[in-house]
Amino acid sequence: MSQHTSSITSSRLEALNHWVAAVAHLTRPDHIHWCDGSEAEAAALRAQMLADGTLLELNQQTHPGCYLHRSTPSDVARVEHLTLVCTRERDDAGPNTHWLAPDEAHAKIDALFDGCMRGRTLYVIPYCMGPIDSPLSRCGVEITDSPYVVANMRIMTRMGAPALARIEREGTFVKGLHSIGELDPERRFIMHFPEELTIKSYGSGYGGTALLGKKCHALRIASWQARQEGWLAEHMLIVGVEDPRGNIHYIAAAFPSACGKTNLSMLIPPEGYRHAGWKVWTIGDDICWMHPGPDGRLYAINPEAGFFGVAPGTDHGTNPNALASIQHDTIYTNVAVTADNQPWWEGLHEGTPVTDWRGRPYDSAHGPAAHPNSRFTVAARQAPSWSPMAEHPQGVPISAIVFGGRRPSLVPLVFQARDWAHGVLVGAAMGSETTAAATGAVGVLRRDSMAMKPFCGYNYGDYFAHWLSFDRPGMKLPQMFHVNWFRKGAGGKFLWPGFGENLRVLEWIIGRCTGAAGAQDTPIGLLPRASDLHSEGLALREGALDELLAVDLDGWASEVSDIGQYLDSFGTHTPARLHAERERIAAAIERARGALPHAKVAS
C-alpha cells in the first residue's frame, strides 16, 4: 500500500496537491497512498489489517465478509468536551458548543500532528457525501493514518476516483485531517473550523471522531455551509411510507439518543397493515440534507452510503431489518464473540458470548460482553427496507418533519404544529427526560433542539433563525409534528407499545398532510382524537389512548415558561419571532386554564 495510485494523480486539483504535501511535511509519513475506492485496494487493506490484528476474521460460514475490530478501551465513544468549534468570533459558535479561537486551536493540534505519522502510511480519501451525481451532495477529502478508517469510509461514503473527479470539476472540498496519534485521551481533540471548511481530529480511532465524513462534515461543517447556501443539514432519519394505493410520503424525523431513531427508519408494519399493503422504505437512519426544490418543496438526501449503528439491543424483535442487513460484509467494532466466532451483543437472543469486547474470556463480573456503544458498519443497500430512491440525484420530497423525545409524562403521543414558526419552536424545545438508572435522578429534562446539540456547527439562536427563514413566499413547506412513544401511566409502564405500532401515528401524520385525517384544536397544537387513530388490533388497556392524548394545562404552563428560559440562554441571537411564538402559546394556555378553572386536564 506504499505506492501512489498513478491512475488518478495526473489531473488532481492543485489546491488538493498542495494541502496533501503540506500535511505530509507536518506529519512525516513513510508512505502516501491516494485511495481509489477499488475492490483491489479494499482487499489489500483488509489483508494488511488481518495480518497486523487491526481486524479479526469472524465466522465466514455464518457471517461471510464480516470482521471485528477492537478499539482501545479508552476510545469507545464521542468526547463532547474535546469537540470544539473554532470560529473567529466566539458568539458565532454560541453557548451550545465548545469554542476555541482558530489560531490557538491550529497551534494546539498541529503540535500534536508534528511527526505523528512516522512509520505509517498517509491515506488520502476523496469522498462524496450523497449520490455522486446529485447537485445536493458535497465533497470532502480525509487524510488519515488509519486503514480501519479507510475501510469504514469506503462503506459510509461514495469514496475514491469518482469523488476525486467531482472535486476536480467543482474545485472545492471540505478538508479533514485525522491521526490516531497515540490513542491517548490526554492528547485528543476534534476541532472544526467552519469558516475554513476544515476539520482536524487527533488521538482517536472511534467512528464519529475518526470517520470525518460523518458527524464532523455531514453535520457540524455542513450546518454552517447550509446556512450560507440556503439549505438544512440535520440529524434526522428519512423514511418513506407507502400506503395501499401506492402513494409514498417521505418523512424526516429527529430524535435524541435512546428514542428509537434507527428502529423507526427501518420500521416493519404491524401484520394488519402489511396485509392491507402498507410498506416502509428506508432512505437514511441518521443524517438528512434538505434543499428547497424549484416547486417550493424541501427535497432530502441521505448524505451517507452506510449505517454506523449501535449493536446492543438489535434483534429480531426490535429491528429485524437492521439485523438482516448485518449478516454479511459488515465491520463490527467492540462486540463480543461466541465459541464459533459469531458476533454477539446484549439483546441478541441467539448465541452465548465466550470472549468480551476487550478480547478477554467473558465474565459477567467484568461488565457487559459487548461494549454498550459497540457498532456495526454496513452498506445501506443491504437493508431489506432500503429504497433505491436513496440514490435519486434530486432527493425525495419531504411531506412531514417529526420531532420526538423520551418524555414519561406531559407530552402527548403526537401533536401537530399550527404553522412553520410553531414547528420551529417545537423542534427548538424538544428534549428527553433522564432516568435514575442513567443519571441518579428521575425526570431531569435535557433539551436537545432538533437533536442537534452535539452537532450544530454554530450558535443555536442563529440556527433557529435559519430554520425560520424558509417560511417565505413560494415555499410549500412540510407539516411539522412532535411524537412521544414513551409516555407512562400511573403504574410506571409505557402506555404505547411502540416499534411497528408507530406506523399508526405515521398514518395520522400523513393523513394530516393530505387533509384526510381529523384533529382537535388545543393550546399546544392539533391532536388526534382517539377516533382519528386507527386502533383496530391495537392492544391497549382501557383508557390508555385518552391518557396518551391528554393535555395537562398546568404542566404545559410550566413547560412553556421553562422553554422561555432556554431560549433566553442564547441571548440576542434568538429570533424575536420565536419568542413571540412562545408567548402566543403561553397566552393560549392561560386562556384555556381560565375557561376551565377546575379542570387540570383537557382532552
Residues designated as active site: 259
Whole-number CA gyration radius for the chain: 24
**3-class secondary structure, 93:** helix
CA–CA gap between residue 288 and residue 396 (Å, rounded): 11
CA 318 to chain centre: 19
Three cell numbers, residue 563: 422553554
CA–CA gap between residue 23 and residue 17 (Å, rounded): 10
**3-class secondary structure, 285:** coil
CA–CA gap between residue 180 and residue 116 (Å, rounded): 9
CA–CA gap between residue 145 and residue 575 (Å, rounded): 43
472-501 b/e (C-beta count within 10 Å ≥ 16 → b): eeebebbbbbbbbbbbeeeeeeebbeebbb
CA 244 to chain centre: 30
CA–CA gap between residue 114 and residue 370 (Å, rounded): 35
Owner of C-alpha cell 431489518: 321
CB atoms within 10 A of CB 439: 12
CA–CA gap between residue 13 and residue 555 (Å, rounded): 59
CA distances from 112 to 21, 22, 198, 442, 444 (A): 18, 15, 17, 41, 38
CA–CA gap between residue 143 and residue 175 (Å, rounded): 8
Instruction: Give 416's strand partners.
Output: 481, 526
Please give the backbone phi and psi of residue 567, each rounded to the nearest 5 degrees, phi first.
-65, -35
CA–CA gap between residue 52 and residue 70 (Å, rounded): 13
Residues in the chain: 603
CB atoms within 10 A of CB 363: 9
Alpha helices by DSSP H, listed for 456-538, are 460-468, 503-514
